[in-house]
Amino acid sequence: MKITDLKCAIIGDYPVVRITTDAGIDGYGQAESPKAYLKPHVLFYRDLILGEDPTNVERVMLKIRRMGAFKPWGSAVSAIEVALWDIAGKASGLPIYKLLGGKIRDKVRVYNGAIRFPMRDQSPQAYAENIAQMKERPENFSIIKQGIAFHSQMVNDLPNFFYSDVYTGGRYPNKGLITERGMKHMIACVEAMKAVLGDEVGLALDCGPGFTVPDAVRLAVAMEPYNLMWLEDMITGDYTPYVAADLYREVTSKTTTPIHTGEQIYLRQNFVELIEKKAVNIIGPDPLDIGGLAELKWVAEYADLHGILMAPHGTADGLLGLAALVQVSATLPQNYVAFEYPIGRPDWWYDIIEGLPDPIVKDSHIDVWDKPGLGVTINAKAAKKYLTAGDEDFFD
């Protein structure tokens, strides 16, 4: 079997990858929804993989992997890797999890990081109301993640939140020492949310990036009575092209509150220092940023050897990304906690993806399906009307 083409189309804001073969089997992958600009980056790899056997996934990846980078530039490589596994599964008649070593769980736990409701303001009462809406969801999520501090509107809406100018534009541009008022406000918001969740639902906080080390320590220590699931991306995180393991280690060594990072990191090599120094308690690579499914599994196993937990990122990965997360999470070692549940936006994505269970989530878990490859596919006839100019031949 040989690869005959690599295509990329923007479908409902998501870059979608399709690899075709001379055996009539195709495979799909997907990048996060805010990344429509990735299309030319995906196509950059086309000539490098044409003529290769797509079922030799690692051999193909050796040709392109080194030319990716930290989020967002590893997304193109990652989406291609998922599409290769999709083909390999379809060609063998097996789900991807079988090709990754087999599943150790029949259902995978997910947490809520994508299903959101508008916040009326940044008050503790508004946080309590918002978390109550998420708690009442039919998915019955056992873990809910909420943004605070630099990963929220507190920076913009709360006067004198931190000792710095407020910058706009780009992704999470602010950083600085938080005022006493700002710290007390964050603690009050957590108190309000925990009053709603009690010990029934775990609360995780998406915090940055942007924290200084002293503030990260202060917040983590202040959170110890609340038994949070984790504090995420306080120092680095979204679109940060470095790891800062030594800084995270300073925080983790001073608190019992679990510290989490990793969604922006590309490739196993860039997790080595974070893991070997035990700089964090939980890592959260995204399969669509780290370099793909096999890459994520390798990192999960290496983290397990060092007593570090795994809670993969995935909030904007879409429904093809959801299928990929189900497949790889079924195979991860017992350091696995849950993955961040992605949804389809706009809602018509649920009309063009075939193969998902209904309902998808039951009691915070997704049953692992056994269909070949990803186990889901795009209904080309239904999806064609959503193709944009220049992508009309995507399904040809």
Q: What residues make up the domain containing 21? A: 3-93+379-386
Residue 394 lies in a domain: no
Give pLDDT, residue 305: 98
Q: What is the CATH number of the domain that holds 123?
A: 3.20.20.120
- Type and span of the H or E element at 303: helix 293-305
Rounded Cα gap, residues 248 and 259, in angstroms: 8
In a shared domain, residues 24 and 140: no
Asked whether residue 396 is assigned to any structural domain, the reply reads: no
Phi-psi region of 176 (alpha: psi -120 to 50; beta: other; left: phi over 0): left
Say yes or no: 271 and 190 in one domain: yes
φ and ψ at 115, to 5 degrees?
-80, 110
225 and 108 within one domain:
yes
| pLDDT < 70: residue spans in the chain | none
- The DSSP code sequence of 331-346 is TS-TTB--EEEP--SS
Quick one: DSSP state of residue 277? T
Asked if 112 and 44 sit in the same domain, the reply is no
Whether 74 is in a domain gets the answer: yes
**150 with 176, same domain?**
yes
User: Are residues 77 and 210 part of one domain?
Assistant: no
Q: What pLDDT is attached to residue 181?
A: 97
263, 120: one domain: yes
H or E segment at 138? Answer: none
Q: Is residue 276, in this structure, part of any structural domain at all?
A: yes
**Residues 89, 202: one domain?**
no
How far is Cα 258 from Cα 172, in angstroms, rounded to an integer? 22
| Same domain flag for 64 and 141 | no
pLDDT on residue 206: 98
Residue 178: what pLDDT? Answer: 98
Q: Are 103 and 80 members of one domain?
A: no
Is residue 214 situated within a structural domain? yes
Number of domains present in the structure of the chain = 2
- The CATH number linked to 87 is 3.30.390.10
| 259 touches 281 (CB < 8 A) | yes
Same domain as 280, residue 352: yes
82 within domain boundaries: yes
**Would you state the pLDDT for residue 169?**
85
Looking at the fold, whether 38 and 170 belong to one and the same domain comes out as no
Residue 391 lies inside a defined structural domain of this protein: no
Q: Is residue 22 part of a domain?
A: yes
Would you call 263 exposed, middle or buried from its count of C-beta atoms within 10 A (0-12, 13-18, 19+)? buried
Q: Which residues lie across from 353 on neighbouring strands?
A: 378
- Contact by Cβ (8 Å): 352, 378: yes
**Would you state the pLDDT for residue 53?**
98
pLDDT at res. 170 = 85
Amino acid at 2: K
Positions of E strands within 191-258: 202-206, 230-232
